[in-house]
Amino acid sequence: MPKDIDARKAYLIGGGIASLASAAFLLRDAHMKGNNIHILEESSIYGGSMDGAGIAETGYTARGGREIEEHFECFMDLFSFIPSLTDTNRTVLDEFRELNIKEPIESHCHLVQNQGEKCDFHHLVYPNNI
């Protein structure tokens, strides 16, 4: 535990994953008390680009995508200690792994041009045609 941690406060600007993750790591690794961590968000919604909202009857909206890859080590570590909302014996990482097995990523288009025309970006990803 860092010296004088109970006297320190953290002010995180923005309620996106960067601040939410910082808060979780401050709690776990720095042992900072939750009521000393402040997240300042200008909009009425937390989550930033990763927010999600809606209900089954009218549909859902999510501003960002959900392509998670195995090299996201910090992200996996974060989710490994966040308890599931529905089952306290499980973590959000368990739920994420299950979802990614059940609904594998299948993304056929990342860039569009000319108002909806699919853009071929393979030469940007594989410059040497590997």
Ligand X SMILES: Cc1cc2nc3c(=O)[nH]c(=O)nc-3n(C[C@H](O)[C@H](O)[C@H](O)COP(=O)(O)OP(=O)(O)OC[C@H]3O[C@@H](n4cnc5c(N)ncnc54)[C@H](O)[C@@H]3O)c2cc1C
Rama region for 47: left / alpha / beta (φ>0; ψ in -120 to 50; rest): left
Which residue in the set 27, 30, 50, 92 belongs to the binding site for ligand X (CB under 6 A)?
A: 50
Alpha-carbon gap, residue 40 to 45, rounded angstroms: 11
Which residue in the set 48, 82, 94, 95 belongs to the binding site for ligand X (CB under 6 A)?
A: 48
Please identify, among the stretches 9-17, 28-36, 53-61, 112-120, the one whose residues bind ligand X according to the rule CB under 6 A: 9-17
Task: Say how many residues touch ligand X, by CB under 6 A.
Answer: 19
Residue 94 is a binding residue for ligand X (CB under 6 A): no
Nearer to ligand X, 23 or 32 (CB): 23
Which residue in the set 17, 30, 82, 93 belongs to the binding site for ligand X (CB under 6 A)?
A: 17
